[in-house]
Structure 1
Amino acid sequence: MTDGRDTLRGSAERAEQHLPEELAAFAEGRALRLRIVRHAETEHNINHLMQGWSDSPITERGREQIEAVAERLSTERFDLAFSSDLQRTRTTAEGILARLDPRPPIRFDELLREWNFGSHEERPAADVWREVIVQHGFEVDRELSALRSIGEQVGWRGLFDTIAQLDASGQAEQAAETVVRADAALERVVRAASAVPGDGEAQVLVVSHGGFITSLLRQLVPEITPDTIMPNCSVTTVSLPAGTLVWQLDGLGETADARR
């Protein structure tokens, strides 16, 4: 797999960040419904490793999560499907599509990848956060209170910008860069949905990543807080009624996994 960095950077540079109503205008009055699914649990998730553009195998529980969300969505009708091109999202999307009849066309899109953590990829998350704490002048043995204090000072975006600043490879994304990428991905999805034949509600499946789904949602429903992270294989539903420019949050992080 190519790292896709130049492709994504080029897309972000060509795109501008839109207001929610501007993204809605790309629907050209069409009613839309987006079902946004986070990928299944992976080995990196349970081992608490930084997992942005790196991949790891789906766990046994993750396979059960895919079966559960596929069953939940099996009675839905989707006109289009979009997924991040990383393996954990491809596997999740393909598991859902296997239960759909008719099966919608799918696009595996680099724009829907998780945040890129550069040289921090696959490192223990605790080690990375310790470096963030030290960078801001706090004592490491007061981790939780330190992170809260840093968050109050610089915000959630500031925390992730610090991770990018500490990346020796120069590949990690700044928060603003990720937001613009999320905006470009949404424009692509909305424009494609508006072009679906017919004039009824266009329904789209989107499979992406925990942090990046939050970036997507905040472009449509800004009141969602930036520290909101969806459970693995959860479904978040956002709709746009016909002839309006206001997105509605119909369900947030709903999971079919009975053990959650």
Structure 2
Amino acid sequence: MRVLNLYLVRHGQTYYNIFNKLQGWSNSPLTQRGIDGAKDIGQRLAEVPFAGAFCSDTGRAIATAKIVLAENQVSNIKDPKPVSYFREEFYGYYEGTDMNQAWYLAAGPHGLKNFPQIVEKYSFDTAKDFLKEADPFGLAENHEEYWNRIDQGFALISSDESLHDGDNVLVISHGNTLLSLMDRYAAGRYDLSERPANGSLTKLRLVDGQIEVVSYNE
């Protein structure tokens, strides 16, 4: 049995975060607060020896990863490995759209008004499906497309022969992805009405490729 300790960090604050815009595969730069937040979590993790570092290939995730690794005092890794599998959910036509407006359009045909109502009545996966249904181009990811991609990311880490039992691995992630992971694997242990903070830490264990949740949004 091989256990890998995954340290999932949500990227630092971006301008789209301030503007309340959906930011999946699209990207906006880190704000100064986002840069400072990345430095803060980097300092919190400065004594954690990382054997590997992965991030989505979006600019905000790469920038956050480099800042976190620059603060680390006990790892030889200076640059993360960008992986497209770890991108945020793809919102298709609604990329860059006001978050409330996009979810209103997705929820409306089902007699609901917003994202929280979809999740309360159905699930996070259903929200993905509803947004794809509302996308006039049909490009937004439904839950099957989303999880097929994300699962490949964790499989990539699990199959990395440079990683050994007990190793620590840094993964720079995204807000909705962290919520989705908790919804799928945390068995209701956390209040998911609160989004994970920019620069927050969530810990997972990858046990022979299977995900176990250790903590959320620290």
The question of a shared fold, defined as TM-score above 0.5 by the shorter chain, is answered with yes
Shift of 1:208: 1.3
Q: Deviations over 1:181-233 (max 9, x none)?
A: 221111111221xx236x65111101111111333455554545676632111
2:206 aligned with 1:251, yes or no?
Answer: no
Q: Which among 134, 144, 156 is matched to residue 188 of structure 1?
A: 156
- SS at the partner of 1:34? strand
Once residues 211 and 127 of structure 2 are traced to their aligned partners in structure 1, the CA distance between those partners, rounded to angstroms, is: 28
CA contact (8 A) 2:155 2:209 kept: no
The number of equivalent residue pairs is 215
Kept in 2, the 8 Å contact 1:33–1:238? The answer is: yes
Counterpart of 2:62 in structure 1 is 90
For 1:131-146, list aligned pairs within 5 A: 131-138=105-112, 143=113
Unmatched runs of 5 consecutive residues or more in structure 1 = 1-28, 255-260
For residues 94-122 of structure 1, give each alpha carbon's deviation from its aligned partner in whole angstroms, at most 9, with x where no partner exists. 00111224332631000000000011011
Normalising by structure 1, we get a TM-score of 0.73
> What is the deviation of 1:132?
2.3
Q: What one-letter code is carried by the residue in structure 1 that aligns with 2:69? A: L
Amino acid at match of 2:132: A
Instruction: Report the 3-state secondary structure (helix = DSSP H, G, I; strand = E; otherwise coil) of the residue aligned with 1:58.
Output: coil
| CA offsets 1:26-52 (integer angstroms, 9 cap, x no match) | xxx123211011100111111111111
Query: Would you say the 8 A contact 1:178–1:215 is kept in 2?
Result: no
- Who is 1:109 aligned against? 83
**Residue segments in structure 2 that go unaligned for 5+ positions in a row:** none
2:104 maps to what in 1? 130
Cα distance, 1:179–1:248 mapped onto 2, change above 3 Å? closer
CA change 1:247–1:114 in 2 (3 A) is closer
Partner amino acid for 1:103?
A: N
Conserved 8 A contact 2:89-2:177:
yes
Aligned partners of 1:66 and 1:233 also within 8 Å: yes
Q: Shift in Å at residue 134 of structure 1?
A: 2.4
Counterpart position of 2:146: 178
* Larger Cα-atom Rg: 1
TM-score with structure 2 setting the length: 0.86
| RMSD after superposition | 2.6
- Map Cα deviations across residues 108-167 of structure 1 (whole Å, 9 max, x no partner): 0000000000110111112112212321235xxxx46x952x445433322221111111
CA–CA distance in structure 2, aligned partners of residues 202 and 51 of structure 1: 31
Percent identical across equivalent pairs? 28
Within 2, Cα distance between the matches of 1:223 and 1:190? 25
* Contact 1:218 1:224 (C-alpha < 8 Å) held by counterparts: no
